[in-house]
Structure 1
């Protein structure tokens, strides 16, 4: 079942039994090309954090002390996210003040649909690219650190993730879709409300 255009859905990450991230987003499109979502600055999101203030960027969830999803406000940019069906990644377009500022490629497992949104698992390795397609790796140390961890990936899995990331960098270099002009001039309707969690959404 596909989502309705204009509907608010929750995009979630999971790591083993833990939900590590949740963010309500507006559906702009849901078709064979993928699920296209919008999250403006000022909207809500939640991330897993423990009593010491550590997140999954600092430590694996199994080593956290009493981790809980904590509500935050999305700051710094507006983001358009494309999740192609069956893909091991999502592509993000960042905007500030209505100006496109670059792409972010998040390596992740193909998403699974839920009644109120989608869920995936972050694969740690990321790519950041400027509007003129100069790109660099992100979180490479973290990626290497988690190879062999039972909640993450083994050496073979890491090699597959890296191979997919290498394929995507070639698309960036060539300016092929989705790293062409697609969506770079996107402008949201100023009347759209900020996406927020429905009551109980963080508990589901």
Structure 2
């Protein structure tokens, strides 16, 4: 288990290599979930070489996290994480990021964003599907392994059913959370360092 304030790394692994890596701070680590904070200005490190999905789409921008900080909460075995977004000090909503289930190691955790997302506004209005066209195009071009796209769709429908029924596991307790003022933006992660 990681401790409050620990700096760990979040890696997305594609084709057996690091596609993107960045540091996050641990907010809470329990048997049920891992909550980490991605601060504004955090450096993003992108893998080099040929990937089946091409370069990471964020590589075309400044290699830092540009929006306000985001709290990412993931549970073991889930094929998604719940990202909490703020605009300044105002909570703006939840972004359900469909991704491979997290795989922990001593330095952090690995996953891979699988393109499809859901946006849930803070005011409780209807949720919106995001990046559906990108997801379908990725499948059409053979970007997913056999059965992978179907597994993502199944997980997405399960989350949509939770949202429709109002039975989500994530609570409002994080909506008023803010990072401690003493937390500095972590430094760049070294891709060459051992896992």
Judged with a 3 Å threshold, the aligned counterparts in structure 2 of structure 1 residues 3 and 63 are, in CA distance, closer, same or farther, namely closer
Return structure 1 stretches of 4+ with deviation > 4 angstroms. 148-151
2:139 is matched with: 147
1:31 is matched with: 30
- 3-state SS, counterpart of residue 169 of structure 1: helix
Gaps of 5+ in 2: none
Number of aligned residue pairs: 188
1:203 is matched with: 192
TM superposition shift of 1:64: 4.0
Cα distance in structure 1, aligned partners of 2:54 and 2:32: 38
2:99 is matched with: 108
Cα distance in structure 2, aligned partners of 1:180 and 1:3: 21
Alignment TM-score, normalising by the size of structure 1: 0.81
1:54 is matched with: none
Q: How well do the aligned residues superpose, as a CA RMSD in angstroms?
A: 2.5
Cα distance in structure 1, aligned partners of 2:131 and 2:28: 30
Q: Please state if 1:76 is matched with 2:67.
A: yes
Cα distance in structure 2, aligned partners of 1:157 and 1:195: 33
TM superposition shift of 1:82: 0.6
Alignment TM-score, normalising by the size of structure 2: 0.84
C-alpha contact 1:34 1:82 (8 A) present in aligned 2: yes
Cα distance in structure 1, aligned partners of 2:101 and 2:176: 27
Gaps of 5+ in 1: 51-59
